[in-house]
Structure 1
Amino acid sequence: MPEYLPARKSLDFRRFLSVQAAVTVAVSLLGLGWHGIDIMASALMGGAVSILPSAYFFWRGKPAKGMARRRNIMNLYRAMVGKFGLTVALFALVFVAVPPSNPTFFFIAYVASQLVYSLSPWLVTKRTSHKP
């Protein structure tokens, strides 16, 4: 048996969600400077529709220590389906209950926040392993 295990890489979820929030705020401030507070509100709603399902996915899909792999994989699938359902529900809620004043900035913020997934390789941190 080796004396130590190699370091594993993992995605820091708080950091990921913070970057998504920062991108949303940046687009919102751009909208505020562009046309005013209504555009900013539309961009914030678009970012929220992206960030809330991501937070749910990370909360629900996090592997539990001591559980069987099959159980962890099932949790991951449940998290994925839940994220999709929450995204659909939030889109419906936003467009029915509180229609955005500028759908363009709503979708720009949503897409920009979703593009943070492509940055995830840079958000990976190394976990150190402990010697037994």
Structure 2
Amino acid sequence: MFAAYLAADVEGMSSVFKGALVALLPHAFFIQRMGFFHAKRRTRGAMHLFRAEAGKFGLTVALFVAVFVAAPPSNPALFFYAYVAVVLTHWLTPWLMPRDRTTN
């Protein structure tokens, strides 16, 4: 966000913030839907995975439409850079984690 502020001032930060939210909110929905933080609600079935992923995709599409219709970003390039950066961070995290980690 600091680089966006230096490059495009407050409008750039607004675009980065919107792009990050469009990426983070569907991920949070998926995590909540799958119950990763609650051992009692943790689902392991493939059908739950498909439903959570379909909801995540639908929420992503709805957020893109809402952002570009209701509050278009002032700098679309920064919006998409932030979106892609957040999505790639979630994809690359498993590769960056140590291999000798123990899980419960």
Residue 29 of structure 1 deviates from its aligned partner by: 1.5
Other-structure match for 2:17: 44
List runs of 5+ in structure 1 lacking aligned partners.
1-27
Judging by fraction of residues, say which structure has more strand. 1
Quote the sequence identity (%).
42
TM-score for the superposition, normalised by structure 2: 0.83
How big is each residue's C-alpha offset from its partner over 1:53-76, in whole Å with a ceiling of 9 and x where there is no partner? 00001111236658885xx22111
- RMSD over aligned CA atoms reads 2.2
Q: 1:95 to 1:65 in 2, by over 3 A?
A: same
- Corresponding residue number in structure 1 for 2:92: 118
Tell me which residue corresponds to 2:64: 91
Name the TM-score, length of structure 1 as normaliser.
Answer: 0.67
For the residues of structure 1 that align with 2:74 and 2:43, how far apart are their CA atoms?
48
Bigger relative contact order (CA 8 A; separation at least 6): 1
User: Within 1, Cα distance between the matches of 2:26 and 2:56?
Assistant: 5
What amino acid sits opposite 2:48 in the alignment? Answer: N
Provide the residue aligned with 1:34 in structure 2: 7
Give the corresponding residue for 1:127. 103
Which amino acid in 1 is paired with 2:61? V
Runs ≥4 in structure 1, deviation > 6 angstroms?
Answer: none
> 2:21 is aligned with what amino acid?
A
Larger Rg: 1
How many residue pairs get aligned? The number is: 99
1:60 aligns with 2:36: no
